[in-house]
């Protein structure tokens, strides 16, 4: 009988807490995202946006379900922001589901470009784009009992910035300009990488929704 190849998260590094602790030290930020333009032209829009985005400074992989960029935080953020802005089309309803993460104990040090310099490749081309975005966010600080206080911290920062719309079950709703939103995402990733060994930050952006109010 064929032996099944099981996954072994939590015990492969042999640490006593069972949490792995293998990947936390790599410093790699990743973002897995999916664009969903709700139009018959979705293929052209997605491929056009991906093709227009400069990804020289991130490791990338595109599959049936999503695209992933990995590397230095600022370059991952730069490439995801560009891909979203490049996919925006006047009047076309589109969502982007994005999962930013860092420090997973099951992570590996490969599949990344950590030695790149800090010059952003896309920002000069997208910094003047402005359009309103609705967004839901959820932060998951992993492995610690007092995780709710970190969630409150980032939500309260959104309140300070004036981009918070409301709290809802299982998420927080933001509404603002696209530049403000990606500035906020940068703040969250920076705050989390400084305070948490492993976090996942889920963001779903929506533009041109035909639904007037939320």
68 by DSSP, 3-state: which? strand
Which of the stretches 49-57, 76-84, 99-107, 182-190 binds a second copy when contact is defined by CB under 8 A?
99-107
First-residue to last-residue Cα distance in the chain: 54
If one asks whether residue 60 binds a second copy (CB under 8 A), the answer comes out as: no
By beta-carbon proximity to a second copy, the closer residue of 124 and 162 is 162
**72, 44 in Cβ contact below 8 A?**
no
The piece of 27-35, 74-82, 114-122, 180-188 that touches a second copy (CB under 8 A) is 27-35
> What DSSP string runs through 142-188?
-S-TTHHHHHHHHHHHHHHHT-EEEEETTEEEEEEEHHHHHHHHHHH
- The pairing of strands 164-168 and 94-102 is unpaired
Question: Considering the rule CB under 8 A, would residue 161 count as an interface residue with a second copy?
Answer: no
Q: CB count, 10 Å around CB of 214? A: 12
Comparing CB distances to a second copy, the nearer of 18 and 25 is: 18
Q: Is 93 an interacting residue with respect to a second copy (CB under 8 A)? A: yes
Residue 36 CB neighbour total at 10 angstroms = 16
Among residue numbers 195 through 214, which ones bind a second copy (CB under 8 A)?
A: 200, 202, 204, 206, 209-214
Q: Does the footprint of a second copy cover residue 64 (CB under 8 A)?
A: yes
Contact stretch for a second copy (CB under 8 A) within 80-88, 91-99, 115-123, 179-187 = 91-99
Q: Determine the Cα–Cα distance for residues 54 and 45; give it in Å rounded to an integer.
A: 16
Interface characters, 124-153, with a second copy (x: CB under 8 A)? ----------xxx-x-x-xxxxxxxx-xx-
Residues that bind a second copy (rule: CB under 8 A) add up to a total of 73
Verify binding: residue 159, a second copy, rule CB under 8 A: yes
Residue with token string 């490749």? 121
> Considering beta carbons, is residue 43 or 127 the nearer one to a second copy?
43
Strand partners, 171: 168
| 3 in contact with a second copy (CB under 8 A) | no
Out of 24, 97, 125, 177, the only residue in the binding site for a second copy (CB under 8 A) is 97
Pairwise CA distance, residues 167 & 91, whole Å:
27
Which residues ranging from 101 to 120 are in contact with a second copy (CB under 8 A)?
Answer: 101, 104-107, 111
């Amino acid at each position: 009988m064929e032996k099944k190849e099981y996954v072994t998260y939590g015990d492969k590094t042999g640490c006593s807490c069972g949490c792995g602790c293998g990947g936390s030290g790599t410093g790699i930020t990743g973002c897995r995202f999916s664009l969903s333009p709700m139009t018959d032209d979705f293929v052209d829009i997605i491929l056009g946006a991906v093709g227009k985005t400069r990804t020289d400074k991130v490791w990338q992989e595109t599959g049936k379900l999503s695209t992933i960029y990995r590397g230095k935080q600022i370059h991952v953020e730069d490439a995801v922001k560009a891909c979203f802005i490049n996919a925006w089309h006047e009047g076309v309803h589109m969502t982007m589901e994005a999962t930013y993460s860092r420090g997973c104990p099951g992570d590996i040090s490969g599949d990344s470009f950590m030695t790149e310099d800090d010059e952003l490749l896309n920002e000069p081309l997208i910094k003047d784009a402005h359009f309103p975005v609705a967004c839901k966010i959820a932060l998951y600080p992993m492995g610690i009992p007092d995780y709710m206080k970190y969630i409150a911290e980032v939500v309260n920062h959104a309140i300070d910035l004036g981009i918070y719309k409301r709290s809802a079950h299982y998420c927080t709703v933001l509404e603002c300009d696209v530049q403000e939103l990606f500035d906020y995402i940068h703040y969250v990733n920076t705050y989390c990488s400084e305070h948490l060994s492993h976090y996942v930050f889920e963001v779903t952006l929506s533009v041109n929704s035909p639904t007037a109010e939320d």
